[in-house]
Structure 1
């Protein structure tokens, strides 16, 4: 659950970005991955995913980045929103007003103030400078943030999963960087309470929260997701007919005991498509699930393409369930 400095100026920025519901390329993250806003110890990234219209997509840690890539690749995911506020006051469901959700019975959110009261927690607040006397300045609630919202669709229709991300699954019960006094195996009451607030807030609208630790995602899977994503928007000069022919050659290559670069050279010779573009078509086709290879082992041009053994979205199906 990201959180940045509590000031009136920050609150005004958040309201400008987040108070109006936006979708796709129009959505604006509540916290940006830049030195002025991201937490000081973060390793944030700014992505530009095709799935959300190539807008800036802000992740505040490497763990968030890899979790975001997994969400973005999911074939049943049609929208992802990052760094979204938990609204202090009651509001309609996040899907309210979206054409995909027309006619669905949607629950309303309880505000985060109400959730905090239920849990006996103190909600962040900030004074608004109105008038000459500081003692008369009104107090406004300052919002909490969640990490990722995955907008999914199944046979029953659209739904939302709130995805909360940490470096380790155990961090959902531990305080951030350890101090010399901290005990590694002790739950931190404040950390646990904040996670409970987030889960209860989304549950009030019928939205499940899924905690994900980066340590649950194998390293090879993460590096593969990164490499595939980086080529997802690589510009292609190949015609549609050439692209289809290239994909079929790559399909035939899967499971063959020859390094992938051999087939890239074959594509260049047979189809007139440069090797670099042939590689991009391969990675785009894997990212878009047109070609299925083993994502849990390194995908390298110097190695053979191994067929899929374990579907990543079957292994992690529970993460994306209602």
Structure 2
């Protein structure tokens, strides 16, 4: 009887000590969660537990904290990006509007000659066209990024499409006295994608190269394993690594003076379209040369 009593007493003491330790750890856990909730620390749950189930609970809570922090960072980044986009858009809208109004006011002056009025109105018209291009690009980007915007896929001969697009830029190359260096395969290369989207991407990249190139432009198309790679390379001695990091951001222009040569949305549109096509686009700066690389999946059985 005495032995049974001792055993019961020992079990009771053990269970009581376990219960007290459990209560202590739960209070510690609760306190850490309260501190974390109040943003007083970003430290994860740290418990020296003796119970496997409670350890598993703490592990899952830490995973949940990781998930929350990742979503929080994404939200903050998105909000900052949106604020910057709105600020840039406001700047890009206000600048041509102010300029247009200024030239119109000068043209309305009684002291202006007919020739001066004509020149000022022509300038105002050109600025209005840039403003129209900006609004069109912004509208196009918002449509592309919409979940409701679906692409129509079909088999595309990318080699032939590249040649056709290059021919459409003949006048612009001639105006700048440029002759692009081409590296195109002799055989046809096929991808399955949206032809309008592919065309828009290539037009934006070539237009960007012509506008900002310091000299040489090279366009290369190649088949590499199961991928099709398009490279548009141009001299860009004024660019920095920071420019490359941000070149696909909305409205970003390496030329902070915003001379009016572009809307700053062309590369953003290209990136959005490549994402829709499940392709990739990236930039690289090497020895004062900017390379923009697009990749699509190679169509099978062609």
What is the TM-score with the length of structure 2 in the denominator? 0.23
Which has the larger helix fraction?
Answer: 2
TM-score, with structure 1 as normaliser? 0.22
Higher Rg of the two aligned structures: 2
